[in-house]
Structure 1
Amino acid sequence: MTLTNDHRSTTTGWVLAILRAMRSAGASADEVMVEIGMDPALLEGGYSRYSQAQVSQLWRRAIDMTGDPHFGFKVAAEVRPATFHVVGYSMSCSATLAQALHRFALYCRLISDSTTATLTEVNNQVVLEFHFDTGGAPPIYQTVDTVLASILSYMRWIAQEQIAPVMVHLPHQPASGMAAHQQFYGCAVEFGAPRTCMIFAKKDLDRKILSSDEELASVLDSTASRYLDQRMAGRFAVRVRDLMIAQLPHDVPSKGRTAKMLGMTERTLLRRLKEEGTTFADVLRQLREERAFQYLQQGVRLSDVAYLLGFSDNGTFSRAFKQWTGRRPSTVAWQDEADMAKAA
């Protein structure tokens, strides 16, 4: 069974931010939409969606036309509550930034089918980590910049304070030095990292937001849940996979914990997976196998891969990887280099 969704899409609110940034840079956004075949009528109302393929084409054209290596920061400046669908409004009503980020992570699939987010707390720090499903192709680095920068910009707007992370980890290398990133985030930035995340001090996220309205936020949560249920109909295994990601690397995903996060019994969890022709073990194995290949191709150390995937040690991970693929983990990066040399 394949968990990849062939109909991945993104909300028009996110597309609007890209278009506004293009226009501010003097690029012909309307002409590009016609060229790509993006119906401008979908921009009206805010709850329509464009295919991920179209959004990726839009990104490439925007980058080519602007020639700006930091175009992602320009898009982040155009973020509004509607950029994040109904989730943006519920975030703005949250009592604290921690609760706002919790809502973002919970409903991230509603904003884009290609992105999931997890929120974990470790040693008085809160880690907001992003996972991108691009169908095997590496993410366009400007989109990665935009996602992280947009969330931080929106947090600053909600709090009316210049919130800064403790640390930012990005998987790509800087296009033109690190100064622009460090200035925007207000902290150290690690490039070429195995994870894509922002790390915050817990105390910075726990401060009360004076303009909050949790009663209204709860109403909006109900709307977001309804939209998400509609989006994920027939894709229960994908929801389970997202919750497995949320449990890694600190815990090995379990049936009981996952069922509790979904608000159902373990028996119901297993029954619904069976209806989609899969099992809990199969979903976990596929997730770990896919992530293992991604990390190893990025040059992540074997010990770090084992940790990120929830294995107790290198040996246990290596044995599992060989069982999945018939190969040793150490051969993956070498084989990729050989394939690239052969293709050249």
Structure 2
Amino acid sequence: MPEWDTARPISTCRRLLEAARTQGVTPDVCLDGTGLSMADIHGGVGEVHAAQELALVRNILAVVADPHALARAAGSRYTVADMGVLGYAILASPTMGQAVDTACRYAVLSSTSLRLTRRDEAGGAAIYFANDHLPVDVRPFVLERDMYALINMAPLLVGQLAADAVVRVELPGIQVPLQRLRRLRIEMVIDSAAARTMMYIPRALLGRPMPAADAVTAAECIRQCDELMAARRWRRGLAGPVRERLCREPGNLPSMAVLAAELCVSERTLHRRLADENTSYRTLVDEVRAKLASTLLSSDVAVHEAAEHLGYTEVAAFTRAFSRWTGETPSAFRRRARGDRHR
């Protein structure tokens, strides 16, 4: 799976469809071959594959006369809500410097497809925005769209920050709507003739409290971001569907041969591709069983019932396996889990 083909919030596709409508492109043209429907866009689907989003982008770019207008129309529709819990983590960060760290660390959870990297310098911090990991044909559009989105959200994110400092934004070839920046209490200078895409934040601003600074809220939001990142790693690559299949019948696990047939690959290919992802069938079986066992033992399910649910005919065998997975016995784990719940 390519580096860029991660899970993406469905809202990015919704914004693209809204922008396409302003350019006279109908939803059926946009969604052709993406595997998505309007019911998905407006229904309960929370995430799509990046490949589906980029297929939608290509469909629209193939028929619009002005891709720059499309990028502006799409980017200007983004809001902090499109960033999900990450947006609230940024808003609640104790300082702007911590907000920048959070944005860079969890960028994959946001609406941007760009890679964000922070580099500290003597007078402040530079945040670089990279698109070189994306397919070549969509790089210009994605960069332009996502930087328009950043400028559009700037008043909401830092509009109330006040300081005698200048934030410099380098946007090669991108003409941004400067009227949005007039709402800021800090000065932001845009350089459209620059050779790279970056934002420079002076040190005087990095220590300033964010407008909605709340350390407790920020910590809770970051905890949720960590959970989302873990869930995405769980689903990524070929290991993802293998885990999902193992979870469906943990007490009656398929052999590797049966699993390979279900995934329409040979057993040898399955073994090789899992090895490429630094895992194996046996490792995934243990991982799934450990996760399910921990969930069961954190509830009121008895140890022998948890063992039976996971396919163990003897509690002793389950106890040995659980101790190998976690370093503690099921009973010790349960006591600790119950203690944590009642704190």
TM over 0.5: yes
Partner deviation per Cα, 1:290-338 (whole Å, 9 max, x = no partner):
xxxxxxxxxxxxxxxxxxxxxxxxxxxxxxxxxxxxxxxxxxxxxxxxx
Partner of 1:78: 77
SS at match of 1:79: coil
In structure 2, give the amino acid aligned to 1:21: A
**Post-superposition offset of 1:21:** 2.4
Return the alpha-carbon distance in structure 2 between the equivalents of residues 110 and 210 of structure 1.
Answer: 22
- In 2 relative to 1, CA 66–58 (structure 1 residues): closer, same or farther, beyond 3 Å? farther
**Post-superposition offset of 1:105:** 0.8
CA contact (8 A) 1:85 1:111 kept: yes
Partner of 1:166: 168
Partner of 1:203: 204
Return the alpha-carbon distance in structure 2 between the equivalents of residues 53 and 274 of structure 1.
Answer: 21
Matched, 1:109 2:112: no
CA contact (8 A) 1:21 1:74 kept: yes
Partner of 1:12: 10
Q: Which has the larger radius of gyration?
A: 2
Partner of 2:59: 61
Q: Which sections of structure 2, spanning at least 5 residues, go unmatched?
A: 180-187, 238-274, 280-343
**Post-superposition offset of 1:199:** 2.0
Aligned pairs for 1:210-229 (under 5 A) are 210-229=211-230
CA contact (8 A) 1:14 1:84 kept: no
CA contact (8 A) 1:182 1:188 kept: no
Partner deviation per Cα, 1:135-177 (whole Å, 9 max, x = no partner):
653543121012223223323212225997414154xxx3xxx
**Post-superposition offset of 1:222:** 0.5
Q: 1:27 aligns with which of 14, 25, 31?
A: 25
In structure 1, give the amino acid aligned to 2:170: V
Identity fraction in percent: 17
Give the count of matched residue pairs.
Answer: 230
Return the alpha-carbon distance in structure 1 between the equivalents of residues 215 and 45 of structure 2.
Answer: 23
**Post-superposition offset of 1:122:** 0.8
**Post-superposition offset of 1:4:** 3.5
Q: Which sections of structure 1, spanning at least 5 residues, go unmatched?
A: 237-272, 278-344
Partner deviation per Cα, 1:50-93 (whole Å, 9 max, x = no partner):
22222122223333336242432322221122322321222222
**Post-superposition offset of 1:219:** 0.7
Return the alpha-carbon distance in structure 2 between the equivalents of residues 17 and 24 of structure 1.
Answer: 11
- In 2 relative to 1, CA 46–234 (structure 1 residues): closer, same or farther, beyond 3 Å? closer
Return the alpha-carbon distance in structure 2 between the equivalents of residues 138 and 31 of structure 1.
Answer: 19
SS at match of 1:104: helix
TM-score between the two structures when normalised by the length of structure 2: 0.56
Return the alpha-carbon distance in structure 2 between the equivalents of residues 188 and 135 of structure 1.
Answer: 24
RMSD: 3.6
Partner deviation per Cα, 1:228-249 (whole Å, 9 max, x = no partner):
012124879xxxxxxxxxxxxx
- In 2 relative to 1, CA 136–160 (structure 1 residues): closer, same or farther, beyond 3 Å? closer
Aligned pairs for 1:1-344 (under 5 A) are 4-5=2-3, 7-29=5-27, 31-34=29-32, 36-44=34-42, 48-63=46-61, 64-65=63-64, 67-111=66-110, 115-132=114-131, 134=133, 137=136, 139-160=138-159, 165-170=167-172, 174=173, 180-181=175-176, 183=178, 186-191=189-194, 193=195, 195-233=196-234, 276=278
CA contact (8 A) 1:8 1:114 kept: no
CA contact (8 A) 1:10 1:52 kept: yes
- In 2 relative to 1, CA 133–69 (structure 1 residues): closer, same or farther, beyond 3 Å? closer
